[in-house]
Each structure stands twice: as C-alpha cells, then as structure tokens.
Structure 1
C-alpha cells in the first residue's frame, strides 16, 4: 500500500497562527473550567505582575525599616537615607493595591455579564426554567464571583509570586530562616486541599439549599392569594421559617468546617513565624546573626504566609461564586429540547412542524402574498406519567387566511395543540413526547395569546412597544435617532388606538402586574394585533375572552374577525361567540361536534337549552328579562349594633427613620451575638498588633544578648498572641455568621408576613420577581453587607484607641504621628473612597435589584417572548441594564482601590516616620531600642483593621439603600397591620350584610382595579344580605370593583363608608385574622404549586385537620375530575408542574375549586370558577358547587349569566353605581345537568377527519 506524504512547504502559512489560536483557546477553556473566566491567562499575567510589584515594595519597606531601626539604635549618621526608600516603597505598595482591586473588579464584571447573558439566552430559548433558582443563580450566585476575583485570584497569584521574591531575599540574608519558611509553606496547600475536599460536598449542598430556598420563596409568593384565600398563611409562615432555619443550620455546619482552613493557615503561619523569631533570637543572643538581618527576616517572614492566609480566609467564602459559575456553564452547555417547529426548507429528520421558506416581508407584502395554510397530520402528544396521550393522532388543516377553532371539553388537549403549533411545547419540555407532522408555520412570524399572559414591561405602553417592534428609544443609535423617534411616534399612536378600542386607555401608564386578569387578557390581544402589524402571518389564541366582561368580549371578537383574510388564525375557546367566528372547527372528542351544533341551532331559534347548553352568556348579560326586586329598602333580618364611622383625615406617611436605625432594628433579634462578635473581632485585631509588636521587641532585646530567661516571656507571648489571634478570628466569624443568618431569617419572616397582610391589595408584590427581590436578593444583600459595614468601623476604632493608649504609655511624642495616621485612615481615606465612588455603589445596588426583577420577569415570560419572537429585544434590554450596572461597579472598584491604597500608603509612611520622631529619644538614651522596634512595627499591624473601615464606609450606601427598600417590613416602620386585634366572632358565621358600602384604595401606591384616583370610591351605596345556603352573585365590567369588593369581604380593605356586617358585627371592630378563618377564597387564577395533586389539596386545611384521601378524591369527583384522576398512573401523587403547567386551564381551575371545597369555612368567595371550562363542564361544576355549598354562604363573581340561579342575590357593579336585585328566570332551573358528559380522554379519529374543510378551502 502506497502512502502519500504531504510536503512541508504545502502547509498553509495560516496553520501556525491557527494552531496557536487553538492552544490559546484550549488554555482559556482550561482556565474557564477553573473559574478564571474566558480571559484566564491574561488575568493571571496581569495579577502576577501586580503581585511582583507588591513583593518588591514589601522587600524595599522591610529593608528601609530594618536598616533604619539599626541605624537609630547604633547612632549611625546615614539612617535617614533609608527613609526615602521606605516612602517610595510605601507608595509602590499602595499603587499595586489599587491596581489589583480595579483590575480584578473589571475582570469579574466581564465574566458575570457574559455568563448572565449566555444563561438568559439559554433559559429563554429552552423555556420551562425554575424562575426562583435560575434567577438566584444568574444574579446572587454570579455576583459571588466578586469575592473570587477581588480576593481569591489576587491571593493565588500573590501566593505564587510574593513568597518566591521574599524567600530569595531572606535566603541571601539568612539561610536558616529561609529554610524554615521553605519547610513550613508546603504545609499550607496540604491543609487547604484536605479541608477543601472535606467541605466540597457541604458547600455544594448549601448552594443547592439556596436554590431550593429561592424556589420555595417564589412559589410561596406566587401562591400567596391561594394561601390567603384558604387561611393558610400562618402555617406557611412557619414553613418559611423552617426553610430559612434549615438553610442557616446547613450553612453554619459548612462554615464551621470551612473556617477551619483559615484557622489552620493562621496557626501554621503563626507557629512558623514564631519559630523564625525564636531561631533569630537565639542566634542574636549568641552573636552569630546581625540585628539588621534578624529584623529583616522578622518583617519579611509573615509576608510569605500572608497570601496563603488571605486565600484561606476568602477561598471558601468565594466557593459559592465558583460553584454558581460552574452550574451556569453546565446549563449553557446542556442540550436543548428538540425543536418541533422547523422551516420547510430544512427537512426534519424527526417529525416536525415546517413552513414555507420565505424572506422577511413587510406587513403589506405579507397581505399581498397571503398567509400560509397549516396542515397537521397524525399529531400525538404524550406526557410522562400519564396513561393516555394528551393528543392522539390529530389531523386537520387550517386554511390560509381563515379562522380555525379547536373545540373540545376541558382537558381534551386544546391548549396542548396550540402550544405545539406555537413551538412552546417541544420534545422533552415538561416531559412531553411528540410525534406527527405540522406544516405551514414559521415560528418567527407568529403571534400568540396564551391562557395566562406574562409581561415584562414596566408599563402597558412599554409592553406593547416591545411587541410592536421598539421598546427603549433611548438605546437607539444616534445616526438613526430621527427615524427611531418617528417610528416610535407612529407605534405610540397605534398603541393608543388599540388601547382605546379595547377599553384600556386608562392602563397605558400602569404596571401590567396591577391589571385584573380580564385587563391583562386584553393587553395580550393588543400584543398579538401589534405582532400582526409587524408581519406575523399566524395568530394563535388560547381562551382570548376568559375573565372578560360581555362588552369587552364583543370587542375582542370583532378584533379577531378583522384578522380574517390577513393572517391564519387558530384559536381555542369555550365561548360559543368566539367559536362561531371560525369557518373551520376541529373537534377533539367524539361528542363535541353534536353539542356544538345543537347550541348553534338553539341560538338561531332563540330556544333555551338548560344549564349545560347556554350559548355565549356574555351576549345576554345586559338583557332585562330577569325579574328584579330591589333589596335596598328591605328590612335587614339581622340586628345592627350602633356604629358610627368616624371620619379620619388622610393618613400621612410617617417620616422614614435613618438607615442606621433600620439596620439596628433588623439586627435586633441577634443583637447580643453581634455585640459578642464585635468584642471578639476587636480582641483578635489587638492580638495581631500585639504579636507584631512583641516579635519586634523580642528581636531587638535578643540582640542585646541577655540571659535566655529574660526572653522566655516574650517567646511565650509571641505564641500566645499568634494562637489567640487565629482562635479569636475563627470564633468571631462563626458568631457573626450565626447572628446575621438568624437576623435575616427573622427579616424574611417579617417580609412574608407583611406581604401576606397586604393580601389581595397588591398584585405587583405577588409577582415572582418582586417577591424574590425582597425575600432573597435584598435580604441577602443585608446579610452580606451588614457585618462588613457595621463591625469593621467599631473594631478599627477600638483597636486605634487601644494603640494610641499603648503608644502614649511607651513614648508620648509619637502619639501625634499615630493620631494623625488614624484620623487619615479612619476618616479621610473613607471620605476619599466615598468621593471617588460618587454614589456608584448605591446605584449599583438599585440596578442589581432591577436586574433581578427583570431577569425573573424574563424567565416567567419566556414562553410569551420566545413564541412571539420578541425575546431578543428584551434580552438586549437586560444586557444594556447589566452594562449600566457594570459601569457603576467599575467606578465603585476604582474608588475602593483608591481609599484602600491611601490607607496602605499612610500606615507604611507612618511606620517610617516613627523612626524620625523616635530617633532623638533613642539617641538621648530615654527610649530603649526594643521600644523603638515596637513603635515602628505597630502601624503595620494596624493596617488590616483600618482597611476594613474603608471597605465598610464605601459599602454603607449600598446597605443603606437596601434597608430603606425594606423599611416597610422592619419593626420600627411597619405599617399598621390590617389584622387589627378586635372582637372575635363568637361562633360560626351565619350571615353577612352590606349597608351602603363604599370602598376606596388608600394612598399607599397600592394597585387597584379601577382607574379612579384614591380620592374616589371604587363603588358606593352597595346593599346586600346573604345567609347560609344563599348565593350573592357579583357581576360587572372589568375595573368596576369586583376584586375590590372581595378584598373588603376578606378584611384586607376597610370600608370608606357604610358598613360590612358579619353576624351583625361591623367588620371594623372584628379581629381580621379571626374573620379570615371563617372565609375561603378561590381566586380567578387558581395557582397550583409545583408539587403533586395531593400536596395542593392538602393546603385546604391545617396538618392537624388534614383531609384524608377519600375526601380529596370526592372533592375532585365533585368538580368533574373523577375520570381524569383514574387515568393518572400515579393518582393523587401525580406532579402538576410549575403553576400547574402539566394540566389544562380547565383542569387547573377545577383543582383549585376542589381545594376550596375541602375547607371548613362558612363563607366561600368564588372568583370566576367556570373560567376555562366548556359550557357543559361549567354547568356541572356550578351544580356540584351549589350542592356542596348548600349549607354555606357563597359569593360568586362572574361575567356569565348562566352561572346565576333563581333566588340569587345579584349585585351589578358599574363603576361607582350599583344595581341590587334578586335573580329569577325560567331559563335556568335547578335540575342537574345532563349525565352523559364525555370522558375527558375520549378521542375519535373519524370525527377529527370529518372536521377537515373541503378541498376548495385548501387551495
């Protein structure tokens, strides 16, 4: 066999550079895996050079001090020449300190920003992420890298460079001391490795605990309305406390072991320096070593161990950041779920959704060409743990430019089909396995209206700008500023028009989180219409009129109808008025077609069909066929106690207390632990100063060759102060961390209770991002900063005062020099850092909080953003916000380096000046030489606590900003709880009554469900009475005050006029906590926790009174989920996913209602219980509810006339006006609905195929 050899000359000239690039890439990858980031080699090079400069400065300073002390003691004339070297070395050391801080901060920011952006791209692209854990990882977790870059990496390079430089100098001066250093330094990495391996698993477990804590906090916050409605807030408060305590205990266990590495390094370095001092002293006594060499070895020896001490002290503190970086990179590198939607031009190897490959077009060109037809063939979707597929062999065609309706009972798979078409549900997402083929969809030209819209915009206008094509005009390129402004103006005009058409003009500047579900649904429709304007060719709508009043439903229907001929529309809805818009209907169960046809025929003939077949009840919401009997003048069957409301002036906000007072109030639960920690910290600092001073005294005294007995006390003192410093430092760290964790646990509980007390009064606070910001990010900022800000100034001040007293006792003329040095270090250096900072730290914390909220909102809305192809704009906005934080952080790092370097220079120069101020006394014989050594070395011992003061003062604005944000949750400023102690209800509630009731929202920035200002009543003159077995039905358009009324009934909002009577007692005098124990509330969007069906149902009652399995199964049967439960292999132990993602919208709603039925409350508030349900399921659910609540008081909020029955008390809200009546109609009887409800799992392939349109529509 012949073999061809390629000539050497044929190797391309670019091969060597490419090979070098590959080597560099491999090296960078290795450094990245080690946590050094993409610029690892450059980072090490620069930090190594700066460490070498620091080492040279240390050698120069040691030479200056050693030769200066010896010269002064020996009376030499040239000792003053060494002062210049000392000052120059001090300046060089200060410059190296500043440059290291600034450079390390810049490198950390680069890694964090790049990793956070890559993580956002990955999580948004894949979807289905845990909001709490991933937000904590991307924000708090990556922010922990600051410690790694600012302390650990400089310590690593210093440990590699400085001991070598200093060791060489010691070797040339004293080989014995150098040998001791060489023999003991290897013990340091050995102990670090052993302790590090022992703590690695515990650190990982603690990091995982933080992720679980974040998830639990977000779950609790999102489900707060449910917990409030079920009266389960108190028990979940204890659960929160337990979670936080477990996290504290686990972390403290880790820290006890992790801090052992620092203790071991302290002991090794202390004993090693003590051995060096003893050997030097012994040789000085016998005259075999000059004093100058001994002093030089003594000053330099501790500096050989200082980098290792710094590394040991900070390494485990930075491990969280390294682990977070590793987790983030693992997530980024993980394989994404299989994309089920691919363009037609790229044939899919696996079954896929394809679309005709077309270039980008304008809306006008898209209309001219025509929207695509969508063809679905044998589509099947199976979820893990489910016995039957959610969608089974579904085939249909949605004609181009037409409206197609997906019809079926609740749980038949409508939302699953739409999620697949939208590309939101892919293979692997939520355990889904997909098969089949879909063609005609380009995911980049899609508009999607989900059942539960999520928003990211700060205002409704911002949200719509994002979906319309422009979000942040301030970020526009200067060269296109005029064009950007023109486009923005055009878009804003279109937004104003859409909002006016949808009756949302009053919300344009409102936070979307403050909108009612109906208003939010209309915003989602507006988003879709703007996407169509931007070129979308396919529009998918899932329950577009759910939670919407009759008039708004008609507006939405008209908007959908106007899309015919422009785009291809596929929708799912239980509202007959919506499905009647469709030219093609696709049925997902065998009996749906017949029922739908019957409903349509009955509508045409004007016939009543009974409860299960009421067609589009919102269409007849304003008819007057019902017989109304006013209730206003009816005598009340309850006796009303005399109660005259007292008009009170508008509450004025109390002046906010100072930040220091707020911090102290937060730390109060662990105040004695902090006092003890300060004492230990001050004592440890004094031991460190004493160690330095005693060592200097020992060396100089030994040079005078006294008897060894005179030196034994000093030798023992060196060991005592060395071991004591290490032990005290270890104890101080443990006490500090235990105290701050305990204080933050109490703080989290107070925040949670405050959120719970606000209850239904604030929707914004219930968002995952906002709750995570308060409960985790801001609370953790207090946890991290409070010890660093409060303790170092106290420790530094105490240490400085003790040093001044000591110097005054030794040599009073040196006191002014030391006092000036302390004033410069304690006051001028922090002021310099603060001046250079220019509020950067405060702004950085604000932006960090905003990044956290935005990141959480981005993940929560990932499906909305990605499906509507607007995620890139939001991620770019987040990147810009992160860049702003980076600018402030770089400025902050520059300021920190400036203040710290000034302190380093001042103390090093002070050590040199001590020679000058003490030389006359030494020459006169009034000051012993050993005392001179103490005075010279003392400023160097003060350097560490004084540097802590600079850091503390600079971090003060950040901490102050954080605690001010938490001011409403601190004991000193917490607003009066809505749970005012009052009269308890003597027994079960038998009746409630409303007498001329008026309500308004207080002027506290709390969101409302009305567009009126806080001086206007949301409603007034409301009268009603309802007793056991009776129903009060509340209806009205969105924003008319229905949610406000529920808030009053729950006791979270006091009436502004009239009265709310419970068993004849005015709610103002009742204990609101006791009142809520008698009331259960099922919110509009019944949140399901990311757990099992069983766990969600168990929330209905306390653990002591937990429902058994039979009760839970019966509750599910009563809401029509019996067959669904039977189909689940795991039964009640089936996981429902985050927010019930693995259930349909109707199933989620029914589970939430079943949970409410399991309570023992006498008053049950039902807010839109039949939303997301088909007509028959709605009728059956209402029948079951009326049977189940036959001996309770029911308050029903609904937009559907079909939900009303004979004898119901009806309140029709119209803003500030109210109509009260009783409901009577022959159209609705009390007989049960038909019993032939189809199985939610039934599928009929033949029926599906007959739903295909005629061939003429497919052309």
Structure 2
C-alpha cells in the first residue's frame, strides 16, 4: 500500500494546496477528538462520583455541543476541499494526458486510453475524498492521542503504542495483494474497452463478411473474465477489511482488560479510565479506515499508475529545420513495434519530386507504416528518411506536415458542417471549398443535400457512404494544395463505380505533386508511375 505518490504532486500541482488544507483540518480534528474525550470523561465522572446535575454539567454539555458542531463543520470543509481538489487534479491530469498523447501520435489514442481518461481518472474521487484525508488522520490522530494519554496512563499508552504498528504491517501485506488484483482488473477493463471500440468501428465490415457473431463470443469471454476478476478483487477487499477490524478490536480489548483490572484493584481512577477507554478506539479507528478507504480508491490508484506510465513515455525528439519538399529517400529504413517479433517495415527507396509511387504487397508488409514514417507518426529503429537531403528527424514536424496532405483509408469526419469538415479550421472562402469539392468529385452529392455546405454531419460522418466520406477527404487534400500527398488505400471497401470516381479525383490530385499511395487494387496501382513491392524490396535494396 502506497501513501501519496510523488508523481501526483508533479503532474497535478493543485494537490499540494489540498494536502496543506488536509493537514490543517486533520490537526484540528485530532484536537477536537481529544477535547471531546476529555469532556465526556469529566462529565461522566462528575455524574457518577459527585452526583452532578444539569446545572453543574452546563459548561461540559455546551463544550460538547461546540466540539460536535466543530467536528461536523470540519467534516463538511474536508468534503468540499476534497471534491474541488479531485476535480482540479483530474482536469489537470486529463489536459496533460491529451497533450502528451497528441505529441506521441495516434498510436497512443486507443480504447484503453479512452477508458483511462474517463472512468479511470473518475475513480480518483475516492482517493481524494476518502483515502488521502484518512491517511493524514492516521498519522496525526494516534500521535496526538498518545501524547494526551502519556500524562494520564503510561501503561495504556505503551500498550497502544506497541499494538498500533501491527495494523499498518498487516495493511501493507494485504494491500500489496489487493493493489496487484486491482491493477489486473483495471487493465482487463482497458483491454475489453479497446476491443469493444475496435469492434464497433469495424462493425460494418464484420457484418459484411459474417464475422460479427464471432466477436460477440470474444466480448462475452472477456466480459466474463473481467467479472470473475472483479468479484475476486471484492472478496479480497472484504476479507482484508475483516482482518484489520479483528486486529483493531483485539487491540482495544487488550487495553480495556488492563484498564478494568487496574480500576477494580484501585490503581486507577475513574476519570482516567474513562479517558483511556474513550480515546483508545479513536487511536485505532483512523488506521482501520485507511485500509477500508484504500480499497475504495484502489481503482483510482491503478488508473493513476497507468496515467503516469503514459506521461512518463518519452516523446520522440523533434527537429527545428525547415525545407521545401523535394526528393524523398528511404535509406535502409526499418520500423519495429514491441508487440511484433518481426520488423513492421523494411524499405530503401527514392521518390523523385512529381512522381507517383505505389507501395504494394500483402497486408502487414508495412505500406501504412511507410506513410506513418513520412508523417512523423512512427520512428525508424534503423535507417533514416531524408527530404531534399535533410533527415526527417531534423525537420520541424509542424512545418513539414504543412507540406503534406494525408488521406487515410477511413477518413475521420467530425460532427460539424461539410464546410468545416473540408476546411478543418483553415480560413477559406465558400468558393474555395466548392472548388475543392468539385475537384474531388463531391460537388454533386453535397449540393443535393438539403443544406448544402451547411449540412451538419453526425460523428464519423454517419449517414454518408464510404465513397462520399472518401471524396470529402480528397477535397481536404485539394484545398490544402500541398506538394506531397499520401494516400492509404483510398479505394478500399468501395464498389467499382464509386472507386472509378475516386480514381478520377486521385488522377487530378496527383498532377504536379509527389504522391505516395499504399495500394493493393490493380486499378489504383495503374495510376502510379512506378511500383515498389514491399514484399520484394528488403532494406538495403533499391
């Protein structure tokens, strides 16, 4: 079981002020606990030994009422502070995660990442609202209670001091197992979310090839595994709480037996005995609650570990040089991924300015990876890419990408107007957008829509056909008017008539530009001036 992770202070600086407030509130709460116990002991002693009435107890009762009201106010202040701190910390972590993943590139944005920044970080509420405040109380309350009891009863103080460390020891032993179980459970949830997102994204293709039911079986299996692991984690949490409760109860009983024996023998007065009996459970209570609240915050801690792992992932170094697009050279380039035993790409090739080159080969040979390398989204493990004689690693990524238009196999469309989807934030006129749509062969179907350019699309362009989405993506490339164009299987999943329209638009787009096409359809390969077969072009060969 970990106390406060220092990386939380580094990545969520708002936590520092919250910790200071929590310590101050914890000191005040501990002082009020001692004051309440003292007032109760004095009041009960006055009633039983001196027969005091309400008039004599007025001051004690007023003091008790003030202490109870103050403890309630402190509890409310703690809830408010923890809620605001949790919201600020989650917001700061999310901003940092999004910025870091954007710098890492699209490979970091997965279903697992979506689970992390939503449900995962939301679980930090229990960490801030319950675990951290209780952790502070667990450090302050026993120390203040022991300091108060030291002058009242040395034997009870020593007994409590000797038994208190047993709870953190057992807590650490149990917490280590619980932490590992929660980490496994959260990672399985991430895997389930990632797989489900992939299935939803490719549901149309799965249904087309009759593979949708097979994915239902896979999701059911992973869901059952996640359910079993969750129940196992809950069982561990309940049993560990029982262990801590039993240990604390036995420790309090040990103190109470000693108090009772000495009280009967006359070696201890009633007021002191009552003070010890009231304060002893208060010394153990914060430690017991730390264990219980740790289980409530364990998922948040597991999510925080995942967030820190993402934030600690180094961003590939970016250059600062700028260059005008020219000859592109893949010099003995090799790209590897941790999840693959073999290299994802091996390529040596030269693309001259104005040349249209088709990259061909079977699925998995590295066609899309070659485009990702040019975009700076994948880093070669060996070799280098040079643009106009300058290594790509030395170029300013933003400046280089302004010279490149990229049309992926499945373009991303946003819940915005067609005008906004084509312009993508560029300050362009309607005439320029319409000209780009006409060049892409999309003007006819856009004008036929009820609102034309102002037609608002659904998320991911739902309602448009695959060919219409592809032509809007080509319109973006026409509008950007860049010297380099990258096309990733632009006619995949299109019927023959639609593919012919897209091919006509690609021929217009390729005129006077350097074009690199990842292709496997013969009619798309025919557009190219030259073909590079990645299956037959190992690194080191032109």
State the TM-score, normalized to the length of structure 1.
0.37
Alpha-carbon separation, structure 1, partners of 2:317 and 2:407: 22
- Which residue of 353, 357, 381 corresponds with 1:398? 353
Q: Distance in 2 between matches of 1:229 and 1:549?
A: 17
Alpha-carbon distance in 2 for matches of 1:542, 1:239: 29
**Aligned partner (choices 85, 88, 103) of residue 66 of structure 2:** 88
Match of 1:510 among 443, 452, 457: 457
Trace 1:345-364 onto structure 2 (pairs within 5 A).
345=321, 355-356=322-323
| 466 and 323 in structure 1: CA distance in 2 versus 1, 3 angstrom threshold | farther
- 2:386 corresponds to: 437
Relative to structure 1, the CA distance from residue 189 to residue 558 in structure 2 (aligned partners, 3 Å threshold; closer, same or farther) is: closer
Distance change >3 Å, CA 129–CA 36, structure 1 → 2: closer
Q: Does the 8 Å contact 1:104/1:149 carry over to 2? A: yes
Q: Is the 8 A contact 1:374 1:397 kept in 2?
A: yes
Verify the 8 A CA contact 1:283 1:289 in the aligned structure 2. yes
1:524 to 473, 476, 484: 473
Question: Take 1:304 and 1:466, find their aligned partners in 2: how far apart are those partners?
Answer: 65
CA contact (8 A) 1:381 1:392 kept: yes
Q: Cα gap change, 1:174/1:426 in structure 2, threshold over 3 Å: closer, same or farther? A: same
Q: Is contact 1:396–1:586 with CA below 8 Å preserved after alignment?
A: no
Shift of 1:446: 3.5
Contact 1:393 1:436 in 2 (8 A): no
Q: Is 1:65 matched up with 2:12?
A: no
- C-alpha deviations, 1:125-150, integer Å up to 9, x for none? 33323712222223222222221121
Aligned residue runs from structure 1 range 694-1093, under 5 A = none
CA contact (8 A) 2:13 2:89 kept: yes
Q: Does the 8 Å contact 1:501/1:555 carry over to 2?
A: no
Q: Secondary structure at the match of 2:445?
A: coil
Give distance in 2, aligned partners of 1:90 and 1:527.
Answer: 67
Partner of 1:271: 250
Q: Distance in 1 between matches of 2:191 and 2:146?
A: 48
Contact 1:468 1:527 in 2 (8 A): no
Classify 1:70/1:501 alpha carbon distance in 2 versus 1 (closer, same or farther; 3 Å): same
Does the Cα contact within 8 Å between 1:522 and 1:556 map onto a contact in 2?
Answer: no
Q: Quote the Cα distance in structure 2 between the aligned partners of 1:308 and 1:390.
A: 55
Alignment of 1:51 with 2:51, yes or no, is: no
Q: Is the 8 A contact 2:7 2:308 kept in 1?
A: no
Are the counterparts in 1 of residues 352 and 514 from structure 2 also a CA contact under 8 Å? no
Q: Determine if contact 1:407/1:414 at 8 Å carries over to the other structure.
A: no
1:108 matched to 2:57? The reply is no
Alignment partner, residue 112 of structure 2? 133
Aligned length: 510
Q: 2:443 aligns with which of 482, 501, 516?
A: 501
Against the structure 1 CA distance between its residues 118 and 456, is the aligned structure 2 distance closer, same or farther, given a 3 Å change threshold? farther
Q: Would the aligned equivalents of 1:105 and 1:149 in 2 still touch at CA under 8 Å?
A: yes
Instruction: Summarize deviations over 1:595-624 as a string: whole Å, max 9, x none.
Output: xxxxxxxxxxxxxxxxxxxxxxxxxxxxxx
- Residues 37, 311 of structure 1: CA spacing in aligned structure 2 closer, same or farther, 3 A cutoff? farther
**Given the superposition, is the C-alpha separation of residues 256 and 87 from structure 1 closer, same or farther in structure 2, using an over 3 Å criterion?**
same
Equivalent in the alignment of 1:1241: 535
**Pair 1:148–1:214, CA change in 2 (3 A):** same
Residue of 443, 468, 478 corresponding to 2:425:
468
Q: Confirm or deny that 1:188 pairs with 2:163.
A: no
The answer as to whether partners of 1:445 and 1:537 remain within 8 angstroms in 2 is no
Q: Which residue of structure 2 lines up, in the alignment, with residue 376 of structure 1? A: 329
1:245 aligns with 2:245: no
Cα distance in 2 between the residues matched to 1:123 and 1:150: 28
Tell me what 2:154 maps to. 175
CA distance in 1, matches of 2:343, 2:40: 84
Provide closer, same or farther for how the CA distance between residues 286 and 104 of structure 1 changes in structure 2, counting only shifts above 3 A. Answer: same
Q: Tell me, which stretches of 5 or more residues in structure 1 are unaligned?
A: 1-28, 346-354, 357-370, 470-486, 590-1239, 1250-1259
RMSD of Structure 2 on Structure 1 (CA) = 4.0
Q: CA 1:555/1:468 → structure 2, altered by over 3 Å: closer, same or farther?
A: farther
What SS class does the counterpart of residue 373 from structure 1 fall into?
coil
Deviation string for 1:135-171 (max 9, x for gaps)?
A: 2223222222221121111111101111222222233
Query: Does the 8 Å CA contact 1:31/1:37 hold for their aligned counterparts?
Result: no
1:414 to 1:200, Cα distance in 2 relative to 1, 3 A: closer
Q: How big is each residue's C-alpha offset from its partner over 1:1008-1065, in whole Å with a ceiling of 9 and x where there is no partner?
A: xxxxxxxxxxxxxxxxxxxxxxxxxxxxxxxxxxxxxxxxxxxxxxxxxxxxxxxxxx
Cα separation, 2, equivalents of 1:40 and 1:390:
44
Name the SS of the counterpart of 1:468 in structure 2. coil
SS at match of 1:453: coil
TM-score (norm 2): 0.79
Please, which of 413, 422, 431 is the counterpart of residue 375 of structure 2?
A: 422
For residue 197 of structure 1, report the CA deviation from its aligned partner. Answer: 3.2
Shift of 1:521: 0.8
> 1:539 aligned to 2:482?
no
Q: Deviations over 1:733-760 (max 9, x none)?
A: xxxxxxxxxxxxxxxxxxxxxxxxxxxx
Counterpart residue number, 1:298: 277
Q: Which residue of 1 aligns with 2:415?
A: 458
Query: How far apart are the structure 2 equivalents of 1:523 and 1:258?
Result: 53
Query: Structure 1 residue 290: deviation in Å?
Result: 4.0
Give yes or no for contact 1:408–1:414 (8 Å, CA) kept in 2: yes
Q: Return closer, same or farther for 1:1244/1:190 CA change in 2, 3 Å cut-off.
A: closer
Deviation at 1:383, TM superposition (A): 5.8
Q: Is residue 2:530 matched to residue 1:586?
A: yes
